Amino acid sequence: MTEAKKVSLILEDGTRFEGKSFGYDKSIAGEVVFYTAMTGYPESLTDPSYTGQILVSTYPMIGNYGVPTDLKKEGIYEHYESHKVHISGLIISDYSSEYSHWNAMKSLGDWLKEWEVPGLFDIDTRALTKILREKGSMLGKIEFEEEPIDFYDPNKENLVAKASIAQKEVYGDGEHKVVLVDCGVKNNIIRCLLQRNATVIRVPWDYDFTNEEFDGVFLSNGPGDPAMCQQTVENISKAIAIEKPIMGICLGNQLLARAAGADTYKLKYGHRSHNQPVLLTGTDRCFITSQNHGFAVEPKSLSNDWEPMFVNVNDETNEGIRHKSKPFFSTQFHPEASSGPVDTEYLFDEFIENIVKSKK
Active site residues: 250, 334, 336
Residue 4 — φ and ψ, nearest 5°? Answer: -80, 145
CA atoms of 36 and 54, how far apart (whole Å): 14
CA atoms of 260 and 10, how far apart (whole Å): 40
DSSP 58: -
Q: Decide: helix, strand or coil at residue 109.
A: helix
b/e code 166-195 from CB counts within 10 Å (16+ = b): eeebebbebebbbbbbbbbbbbbbbbbbbe
Closest to 133 (Cα-Cα) out of 59, 34, 51, 238: 34
Closest to 282 (Cα-Cα) out of 300, 308, 257: 308
| Close Cβ partners of 321 (under 8 Å, ≥ 6 residues apart) | 253, 256, 257, 260, 262, 297, 299, 302, 306, 307, 308, 309, 329, 330
| Close Cβ partners of 42 (under 8 Å, ≥ 6 residues apart) | 67, 68, 79, 80, 339
Secondary structure in 3-state letters for 197-232: CEEEEEEECCCCHHHCCCCEEEECCCCCCHHHCHHH
Q: Decide: helix, strand or coil at residue 233.
A: helix
Q: Are strands 198-204 and 176-182 parallel, antiparallel or unpaired?
A: parallel
Rg (CA), the chain: 20
b/e code 201-233 from CB counts within 10 Å (16+ = b): bbbbbbbebbeeebbbbbbbbbbbbbbbbebbb
